């Protein structure tokens, strides 16, 4: 089955700096890659996603890149703010057995220091 | 977004007890999912449902039972709770289309003593 590895597990940056979180996946059939942000005690919320026919997607300060050949994708947050502090999960998914099978990474705890 | 609600938010029970976690969505999404979230494991799929009366096992189904008599509800039952089932449980839903995100509820924090 699919295996998603996420690094680093924790990340501390100064406010205003950039943060990068990297994920690798094993199943070449995965074709959809969402990223979720989870604040303490709250639900995971989708922040950005990318489909396998696209190499990069940007939404204001957040961008995601995908390298299908190397099977890795990354989340980039620029001009970080304290409210960006949260746990971020990457995921790789594919349609399998009649549903969208999603495999999540183990999360990155991002701390933005004011 | 309150489209998917879970209850209770917190639950403490004892080993061997039966406990049911509720999930209700107002989006009319066909697909619903139950995950458990544990430190170091991320989110792991317990069960999913493609429609009313259609359910199937995920990655970690042992010890859990689900039902889906109505599209909007997807309860998860622990028939005889064990300490290893202490976790945070998230319900999610999605449209029946490829490459669409899942939307999560607020979760239920379950402690089994």
pLDDT score for A58: 96
Query: If you ran DSSP here, which 8-state letter would residue B73 be given?
Result: B
Across the interface, whether the CB atoms of A105 and B45 are under 8 A apart is answered no
The tens digit of pLDDT for each residue in A36-92 reads 999 999 999 999 999 988 899 999 999 999 999 999 999 999 999 999 999 999 999
Two tokens, residue B81: 């709770």
Is A57 in the B-facing interface, judged by CB distances under 8 Å? no
Average pLDDT value over all residues in chain A: 95
Q: Test A89 with B43 for CB contact under 8 angstroms.
A: yes
A98 in contact with chain B, both atoms CB, cutoff 8 A: yes
Question: Could you give the 3-state DSSP secondary structure of residue A30?
Answer: coil
CA–CA min distance B104, chain A (Å): 6
Distance CA B60, CA B13 (A): 21
Q: What is the pLDDT of residue B2?
A: 63
Whose tokens are 């976690």? That residue is B21
Exposure string over B74-103, b if 16+ CB within 10 A, otherwise e: bbbebeebeeebbbbbbbbbbeeeebbbbb
| Nearest by Cα to B11 from B105, B80, B110, B79 | B110
> Of B93, B84, B79, whose CA–CA distance to B111 is shortest?
B84
Looking at the partner chain, which of B31, B90, B99 has a beta carbon nearest the beta carbon of A43? B90
């Amino acid at each position: 089955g699919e295996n998603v590895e996420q690094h680093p597990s924790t990340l501390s940056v100064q406010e205003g700096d950039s943060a990068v979180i990297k994920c690798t996946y094993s199943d070449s059939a995965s074709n959809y890659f969402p990223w979720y942000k989870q604040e303490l005690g709250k639900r995971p919320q989708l922040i950005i996603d990318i489909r396998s026919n696209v190499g990069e997607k940007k939404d204001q300060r957040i961008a995601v890149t995908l390298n299908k050949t190397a099977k890795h994708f990354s989340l980039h947050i620029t001009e970080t703010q304290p409210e960006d502090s949260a746990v971020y999960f990457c995921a790789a998914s594919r349609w399998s057995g009649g549903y969208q099978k999603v495999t999540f990474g183990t999360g990155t705890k991002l701390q933005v220091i004011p | 977004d309150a489209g998917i609600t879970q209850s209770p938010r917190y639950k403490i029970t004892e080993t061997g007890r039966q406990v049911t976690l509720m999930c209700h969505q107002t989006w009319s999404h066909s697909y619903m999912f139950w995950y458990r979230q544990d430190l170091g494991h991320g989110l792991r799929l317990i069960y999913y449902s493609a429609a009313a009366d259609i359910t199937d096992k995920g990655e970690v189904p042992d010890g859990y039972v689900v039902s889906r008599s109505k599209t909007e509800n997807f309860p998860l039952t622990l028939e005889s709770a064990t300490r290893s089932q202490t976790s945070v449980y998230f319900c999610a839903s999605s449209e029946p289309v490829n490459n669409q995100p899942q939307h999560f509820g607020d979760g239920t924090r379950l402690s089994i003593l």
